[in-house]
Structure formats: structure tokens, C-alpha cells
Amino acid sequence: MTIQFNTDKTISGEERQEAYFTSQIKEGLDRFSSHITRVEVHLKDENGKKDGFNDISCLLEARMEGRKPLAVNTKGNSTKEAVNSAIDKMTNAMNKIIGKLQEH
């Protein structure tokens, strides 16, 4: 499972932060790794450099073998909060999809 990060110019793409989030995503989606080929993470600050509430947006897109990509979008007060929320949302969506596949 390959993880690709994309950030807007207001979010620093520090290597440490990217490594941390990569490990969080791999850990959170590990049980689906046989179905996922690539995960794309899009982080952006909705308000730019201004302070705001729930202004960090995280779009998490999972590319699955033989299926259309699955995307979830969340917002948070920090990148950590937004990414963790997106991981939870993606896990729930993947559980539903994999459950339906196993029923058939």
C-alpha cells in the first residue's frame, strides 16, 4: 500500500509529520491492505494563515483493486485531528464495502 501526501501551501509538509501520518494511516488501514493499492492524502487549511475553528480539511482517497476509488473528507482544528478522523471514517466505509463483498 503506497501512501501519497499532498498539502496546500499553508500546511508545512515536514518530513517528520508525513512519516507520523503515514504510520498512522498504515496502522489504521492495515487489515484492508490486501484490497488497497494506494492511499492519497490531501491536506489543506480552509482559512489560509488565519485562525479558525475546524479549518483543516483532510481528504483521504483509497484506491482499491478492481473498484472505483473511495474518498472521505473530514475537518478538524489540527492536521492530527483531521487525519485521525479521516482514518476512522475510511475504516467504517471499508468495513461496509468489504462486508458486502464477502456476502456475495
- The pLDDT score that the predictor gives to residue 97 is 86
Q: Place 72 in a pLDDT band, splitting at 50, 70 and 90.
A: very high
Exposure string over 12-34, b if 16+ CB within 10 A, otherwise e: eeeeebbeebbeebeebbeebee
Mean pLDDT within 55-64: 93
CA pair distance 28, 30, nearest whole angstrom:
6
What is the tally of helices (H) and strands (E) in the chain? 2, 4
Mean pLDDT rounded to a whole number for the chain: 87
- The pLDDT score that the predictor gives to residue 17 is 84
Mean pLDDT within 35-57: 84
pTM, full prediction: 0.86
